[in-house]
Amino acid sequence: MPQLEPNLAGLAWFGPLWSVCCIGFLQLAGMYPLRGRTVLPVTMATALWAILLAGTLAFALVELRWTTIVVVGGVLFLFLPALFQALPLWWRDGRAGLRLSCCAMIAALALLAGVAAPSFHMWT
């Protein structure tokens, strides 16, 4: 495995971060269009998701090989919708689920800030 991806620690962090991004995307995709929904919470969750997506991709581009990003990211994006469908309906399409998803994205951002801090100087 080290011949395919030398940074196994970065790969181990990319998996959960990308999973939170994918689950957040699937949830937010179901929230649009905003007919009958409160605009502010969905907009704030979308902004939070966009920041997490940008940070996760920047971390992956600095720490991992692009082939690893494509393969691992693609496999997760392919199979996570099955996990998403197994979640209760209140998580997938409700305010409580949106709050819980925002908490997960904030935790993922905090984790990303802690894990990616040593490589921040290479991002600019």
- Would you say 44 and 13 are in contact if contact means Cβ atoms under 8 Å apart? no
Cα angle at 44 between 116 and 112, to 5 degrees? 10
Q: What is the pLDDT of residue 88?
A: 85
> Using one digit for the tens of pLDDT, what is the confidence trace for 23-80?
999 998 888 887 777 888 889 999 999 999 999 999 999 989 999 999 999 999 999 9
Q: What is the pLDDT of residue 121?
A: 67
The more confident residue out of 88 and 108 is 108
- Count of other CB atoms within 10 angstroms of residue 5: 18
Q: What is the pLDDT of residue 87?
A: 84
DSSP designation for 2: T
CA–CA gap between residue 67 and residue 69 (Å, rounded): 5
Q: What is residue 108's three-state secondary structure?
A: helix
- Count of other CB atoms within 10 angstroms of residue 103: 10
